[in-house]
Chains A and B, each alone.
Chain A
Amino acid sequence: MKRSGVVVFLLSLFLCAFYIEGASEVCAADDRLVVVTAWETQGLDPLLSGFAFLRMGSVEPLVRSDRKGGVEPCLAEKWSLSDDRLTWKFDIRPNVLFHDGAPLTAAAAAQSLNRTLSKGAIFKGTPVKTIESDGNSVVIKTSSPFAPLPWYLATYSTVVLAPSSFDKNNECVSVVGTGFYKLSSSEGNTVFDFEAFDGYWGEKATIEKARYLAVPNPETRAMMAESGEGHIVIDLPAESAQYLAKDTDVIVVSHILPRVRSMILNAKLPVFADAELRRAVSLCIDRKGIAEAIHKDVTLAATQLLADFSPWHDKNLSPLEYNPEKAKEIFLASGWKPNKSGVLEKDGKEFAFEILTYTARPDLPVVAQAIQQQLANLGIKVSIAIDNSSVIASRHNDGTLESALLGRNYSSIPDPIGNIAADFSEPRDPMGAMNWRSEKAESLIKSYMGASNPQDAAKARSGIMAILQEELPVVPVSWYANQSAFSKNLENVNLDPYELRPYPEGVRWKK
C-alpha cells in the first residue's frame, strides 16, 4: 500500500511539473489587460482566425471600419478609382513596420491579399480579377465596376501579414502583422498573449500586455467579469448582463449588432407563395413581446431587416407591426377560414408548416416556441424541428425546407451588400431567401454594386430594402445585441458594433 501511495504521489508531481512547465510561458501578469470572448480560434491563419488578431489590434487591413458602417484609411492612407471604375489604387501608408521589423511595402500587401484571393475566400463571387503592386500602391482590377470593394478590404480575411508569416507552401505559420499589439505567445486555440509594439505607426498601446481568452460558456464569462479576471468581457447572456449592471466594479454596455433573428419562408409552399400571406404571418408575430420576454430588451424588436445604426436602415419604411386583427382579415380574404378545431383551412388543407431551427444559438428554439404559440392563436399549426444549422442549408438545397428560424449576420463585410446579395440574388446562399426571386431586387443589387456615386448607391439601397420589407421573403423577428462588460478600472473603451476594430484600441487603466 505504501509503495502504491508513493507511486501515485510521484505521478501527481510529474504531471503537475509537466503541466506547469507548459503553461509557464503564458502565466498572467497583474497589469495585463484580459479580453474574454466566446470565440476560439482555428489556428493562426487569418482566413480562419483573423477575427481574434484583428480584434486584439495585432493585424490591420488596408482600410478599416469607421464604426458607422463606412470605412476609413488604415494601412492605405488613401485610395482612388480609375475613370472606367475598373481599377482601384490603394496608396500604402509610409513608415509602417511589421512586427518582425520589416517595412510594409505594396508588394508585401499585394502578396498577402493575393493569398486571400487564391484561397477563394471573401473575394469569391466578386468581380475582383487581379491584385498587384505598383510602386507604393496596391492595384486591384475588377472585371466590372465594384463599388463596395473598400468594404471587402476591411474584414479580418483581408488583413495584411508580413511575408515571414507564410511558409513556402503559402500556409500561415505565424502572425506577423502591423498592429499596436504583437503576438508573443499562445496556448492552444483559446489563449493568446500580446505585447505592445514599440514601432507602431499610430497611437501606441498604453497597456503593455494584453491577453485574448476564449471562454465559450456564457455563464463562465459573466462570472469572470464579476470576479475581475476579465477586464473586457464580450457577449454576455441578457440575464447575466442585467445582474452585472448592479455590480459597482463593472460597466455593462449593450449595442445592437447587424445580426438578425429571422424566418426563411419557402415561397414555393402554397401558404407562403403569396406575399400577402407572408405579410399576414409577419403580422401575427409579437416582436416586442418576444424582445421583452426573451431578450430582456424591447428595443431589439425588429422593425425591418437591419437596425437603425446601419446605413441600410430606411426610416421611411413602414415598420413591421403586430396586428393579429389585420392578419385575420388577410387570411379570410385569401380563403383561409378556421375549421372546427380552430385551425385555418382552405380547400381541405390546414395552414400548417414546420420551423426548423438549431441550438448553437440557444435563444432560437425559445423564440421558435413563442412564434409557434403566437401563430397558433390565429389558427396556424406550427411544428418545431431542432437540428444542426447545416441541415437548414441541406434542406434548402433539396427543397424540403418549409421554414427556418436562424441568426443571420449582415456584417461579415461591414457593408451588408455582401450578405444581402448572397441571400436575395443568384447564386443564392442556402441560409438566404428560398424559392423567392425578384428581378427588380436583383437589378438594384447590381446597381448598388456598380454605383458610381453615393447618391446612386443610397437610391439602390432604399429600393432593395423596400422590396424586402414589402415582399418579406425573410421575416425579421428580432435584432441581436452584444452585451459586454468592462472593468471600472479601464477608460476609453469604445466597442465597434461591426466588431472590426480592436477591443483594446485606445484603452488605458484609470490613474
Chain B
Amino acid sequence: MKKVVGILGKSILRGLGIAFCVSGLCFAVAHLIPGDVALEIAMTRYGESDVGIIDRADRVREEEGLSLPLAVQYLDWIGKVARLDFGISLIDKTPTLPVVLRALKFSALLGVVALGFSLCVALPVGIVVGLRPRGKFYLVTAMLSSLIVSIPSFVWGISLIVLFALKLKWLPVAGFLSPTYVILPAATIALTLSATSSRIIAVSLAETINSPYYAFARHKGLSELWTLFFHGLRNASVPVVTCIGMQAASLFGGTIAIETLFNWPGVGLLFLNAVTSRDIPVLQTAGIAMGLICVAVNTTVDLLCLVLKPTARLERLG
C-alpha cells in the first residue's frame, strides 16, 4: 500500500511539474515563432485583408497586455491559474477551460474507441502469432504490420473514406454529430495502433512461453489454457500495458492529421489552431491539460503493472 501511495504522490508532483513546464514551453513557443503576436491575433480575428488591421493589432496589444514584458505576462497567468482562472481566449473571448475540456472530451472518445478497435484486432492476432512465432501467419502479419506502419495514417484515412463513405455509403465522411462519425477516424488510428500492439503482444508472449517458469507450470501438470491465461498472458501483459499506455497518451494531441481530415474537434486540432493564431491562453491551458493527462496515463500504467506483476514493478521502482 505504501508503494501505491508513493507512486501516487510522486505522480502528482511530477504532474504539476510537467504541467508547469509544458505551459511555460507553450508560452515561449507562441512568442518565439516569428511574427507579431498581436498582428497574428488581429488577422485571425478580423481577416488578413481587413481595412485598418494595424490599428486593430495595436488595440489587441493594448487590451490584452501584450506589450508588457514576457515575464510579467507569464507570471500574471501563473497567478491566475493558481486561483483556477485559466483565462479567456485571445481570439473569441470565451473562457479557455470549457474549450479545452470540450476538445479533451472528443479526443477521449476518439482515443477510447480507437484503442478498443485496436485491441479487438491486436489481441487475437498477437496471441496467435505469439503462440506460433515461426508460422506462416507470423510472416503474413509481420508484412501487413510493416505495410500499415510505413504508409501515413491520413492515406489510410482517405482510403477508408473512399471505401466506406463514397463507394459503399455506409458511413459519413467527416464530422462529429452522431456516434457513427467516430467509426472512420477511430478505425484509421486503430490500424496503426494494432499493427504495433500486435507485434509487441506476439513478441512478449513468445518470450514468456519460452521462459523457464512457463515450462515449469506446464511440467507441474497445469492445462495449456490455464497456463496460457494465468502465467503466459499475465506475465506478457506488462510490456503490452506499457505500450498501450504510451499509445493512449499519444492519442491526446498526437492525431492532428486524422482530426484535420475527419474534421474531428479534438485537442490536437485545438492545439494546432491555437499555435497558428497565437491564442496563448488556450495553448497554455491545453498544455497543462495534456501534461496532466500524460502523467495520469503513466501513473495508471504504473499501477496496472504493479497489479499485474508486483515484484518486477517494485524492483524497478526501487
Contacts and interface: CB of A to CB of B under 8 A. Distances in A.
A223 B165 contact: yes
Contact of A27 (B113, B173, B178, B276): B178
Interface in A244-294: 259
Nearest to A122: B51
Interface string B37-55: 0011001111111111111
A19 B93 CA distance: 24
Given A217-B263, A219-B158, A409-B49, A224 B173 contact: yes
A433 interface: no
A295 B106 CA distance: 36
Interface in B212-265: 233-234, 260-263, 265
A220 B262 contact: yes
A430 B58 CA distance: 13
Nearest to A222: B173
Given A43-B92, A227-B166, A388-B33, A216 B51 contact: no
Interface in B1-48: 33-36, 39-40, 43-48
Contact of B261 (A171, A217, A409): A217
Contacts of B178: 20, 23, 27-28
B51 A430 contact: no
Interface in B90-108: 91-94, 102, 105-106, 108
13 contacts: A19-B106, A23-B178, A26-B177, A43-B92, A43-B94, A120-B55, A124-B51, A125-B51, A190-B263, A191-B177, A224-B174, A391-B34, A394-B34
Nearest 3 A/B pairs, CB to CB? A409-B49, A43-B92, A390-B35
Contacts of B53: 393, 429-431
Contact of B173 (A40, A220, A412): A220
B112 interface: yes
A497 to B, nearest CB: 15
A412 B50 contact: yes
A227 B59 CA distance: 44
Contacts of B166: 223, 226-227
A120 B59 contact: yes
A16 interface: yes
Nearest to B304: A4
B35 A412 contact: no
Contacts, number: 162
A120 B105 contact: no
A12 B54 contact: no
A482 interface: no
A409 to B, nearest CB: 3
Interface of B: 33-36, 39-40, 43-56, 59, 91-94, 102, 105-106, 108-109, 112-113, 116, 158, 161-162, 165-166, 169, 172-179, 233-234, 260-263, 265, 273, 276, 304
Given A18-B105, A219-B158, A23 B174 contact: no
B94 to A, nearest CB: 6
A335 to B, nearest CB: 36
B50 A16 contact: no
B161 A15 contact: no
A219 B261 contact: yes
A22 B179 CA distance: 11
B113 A12 contact: yes
A216 B260 contact: yes
Given A49-B92, A188-B265, A190-B265, 16 more contacts: A16-B109, A19-B106, A42-B92, A43-B94, A45-B92, A48-B91, A121-B46, A189-B92, A215-B174, A219-B158, A220-B174, A227-B169, A229-B175, A390-B40, A393-B36, A429-B53
Contacts of B233: 1
Given A190-B265, A409-B49, A11 B112 contact: yes
Given A16-B179, A43-B93, A393-B54, A227 B49 contact: no
Contact of A418 (B45, B51, B59, B158): B51
A389 interface: yes
Contact of A188 (B46, B102, B108, B109): B102
A49 B45 CA distance: 8
A390 B177 contact: no
A355 interface: no
Contact of A42 (B44, B102, B161): B44
Given A387-B34, A388-B33, A394-B36, A15 B108 contact: yes
Contacts of A413: 51
Interface in A414-443: 418-419, 421-422, 427, 429-431
A92 to B, nearest CB: 26
Interface string A28-44: 10000000000011110
Nearest to A417: B51
A308 interface: no
Contacts of B172: 227, 229
Nearest to B277: A42
A393 B177 CA distance: 39
Contacts of B161: 223
Contacts of B262: 220
A42 B94 CA distance: 9
A229 B176 CA distance: 13
Given A220-B261, A224-B173, A224-B174, A48 B49 contact: no
